[in-house]
Amino acid sequence: MKIFRVAMFLALIFFVNAGAYSQGSAPRPCEVPNASQFDFWLGEWDLTWRAEQSGGKKGAVGKGTNSITKMLGRCVVREDFNSLDAGLSGNSVSVYNTSKGRWQQTWVDNQGSYLLFSGEFEAGQMTLKTEPFLRGEKTLINRMVFRNITPNSLDWDWQTSADGGKTWKDLWNIHYAKKGLLNLSKER
């Protein structure tokens, strides 16, 4: 009899919680307002940067593409990055973690990188960074900053800090333009 009561109690909890989601009294995690903060990045993008930042010739323009979509019930932002001349291809998945109140991203690429980022959208820009890690004798933090965000363009900065995040050094600056809107002959 005790087992029956426990089973009924658990079933009741399950159905009450399921009903709360279906009736809209509690938003699903992917429907909270912060879960759409990365929507500015969605779309098909042409990319340009100073080629020397990716190992190219000084004065030349590096070019690439990035396709950003939502998947898995529009809960996950998926990135498909390809440089056209630097030999780098990679994918990321990003999700708003409601329990942490932060964005989290996992990046993998054709050079064997596996990076984890966490951050937030604040003051009109998205900033995601790694936990501190040791490289040689230095403890570093890497970060990405999405800034100058408009419906048709944005700027993305890849930066590193060797002083715990007090100062940042630019390593790669990419300009995004919606497909078809970029003049590829324009110098960056």
**What CATH class does 32-178 carry?**
mainly beta
Are the beta carbons of 102 and 117 closer than 8 angstroms? no
Predicted pLDDT at 55 = 85
**Beta strands 76-83 and 138-147, pairing class:** unpaired
Predicted pLDDT at 167 = 98
The residues spanned by each domain of the chain are 1-29, 32-178
Q: What is the pLDDT along the chain (188 residues), one digit of tens a residue?
A: 555 454 444 444 444 444 444 455 667 878 999 999 999 999 999 999 998 998 888 988 999 999 999 999 999 999 999 998 889 999 999 999 999 999 999 999 999 999 999 999 999 999 999 999 999 999 999 999 999 999 999 999 999 999 999 999 999 999 999 997 654 444 33
* 41: phi then psi, degrees, rounded to nearest 5: -85, -15
Element (H, E) at 139: strand 138-147
Distance, in Å, from the CA atom of 95 to the CA atom of 78, rounded to the nearest integer, reads 9
Predicted pLDDT at 6 = 43
- The structure's pTM equals 0.81
By the 10 Å C-beta count (0-12 exposed, 13-18 middle, 19+ buried), 125 is classed as middle
Predicted pLDDT at 3 = 54
Identity (one letter) of the amino acid at 95? V
